[in-house]
Each structure stands twice: as C-alpha cells, then as structure tokens.
Amino acid sequence: MATPVPLNFQAGPIIWVDCEMTGLNPKTDKLLEIAVLITNGNLELVDDGLQFVIQAKKSALDNMDEWCKTHHGQSGLTQACLASPHTRDYVSNAVLQYIKRWVPERHTGVLAGNSVHVDRMFLSVEMPEVVDWLHYR
C-alpha cells in the first residue's frame, strides 16, 4: 500500500465507489450499501477502504423488483439493511469524512467505479455532499 499521506492533484486520486440499491430508479429507489476505495493515479490503495450497509425500511425492501428481492435476499443484504444501525445521513457523513481525510481538496479526487454513472445518480440524490466534493471527469 501507498504511504498514508493525503493525496493532492499531482497524486491523481481516484475514489472507487460501488453501491447496491433497491432498484435502478434514483427517483424512487434507495441506496442499500456503499463501498469506497481510494487509490492514487498508479492505482495503489491508500488503505483498506470502507463499507456500510444502510438502514432500510421494510416497506422499501418489500417494493423491490424480483431481481433485487432474490439477489439481495440470497446475499443477506436485505436482512442486513433491516438490522443496520447506520442511517443514510450517518453513512453520507462517514463517507465524506473518509474521502476528505485522503483527498482534502475539493474537486481533486475523481469518482470512478464499474457502474459509476448509475451510482453517481443515486449519490447525487441521497449523498449530494459526497458528489459535490469529487470530480466526475
């Protein structure tokens, strides 16, 4: 792993995000889980990252489509959301503080991930302060 010092623009910080949701519509569906890894421009991890399961109401989970019900149920995510002590506000603050620890300058870390376009749409609705800290291009 890289030396544990904050990353500046020259280090090329990349904020890798992966989210799980109740569906694919950011207007009606909700975030269930978020994982974040931070690397420098050479793809060297700064640490082990973080991951949170977000507290969800049973009614939101009951309204998931069949794919989500099946897969989130089999993986244990549905039950983990019901049992989670972590509210969306708590998780949003924790994620932002984690990112700021490693990337203290706004618009320096680039948001990245496998399905980053969809994840960004959800983050823009549910965790706008996280998206506002990062750079998208």
Widest CA span of the chain, in angstroms? 46
Distance, in Å, from the CA atom of 41 to the CA atom of 60, rounded to the nearest integer, reads: 38
Q: What are phi and psi of 87, to 5 degrees?
A: -75, 165
Is 136 a residue of the active site?
yes
- The domain in which residue 18 lies consists of 14-133
* Domain membership flag for residue 64: yes
pTM (whole model) above 0.75: yes
User: How many structural domains are present in the chain?
Assistant: 1
**CATH number, domain containing residue 72:** 3.30.420.10
- The catalytically annotated residue of 47, 89, 115, 136 is 136
Based on DSSP, count helices (H) and strands (E) in the chain, helices before strands. 6, 4
Mean pLDDT per 10-residue interval, the chain, length 137 residues: 77 97 96 98 96 97 96 98 98 98 97 94 97 88
* Domain membership flag for residue 46: yes
* Domain membership flag for residue 2: no
122 is written with which tokens?
Answer: 């959800």
R_g of the chain, CA atoms, integer Å: 15
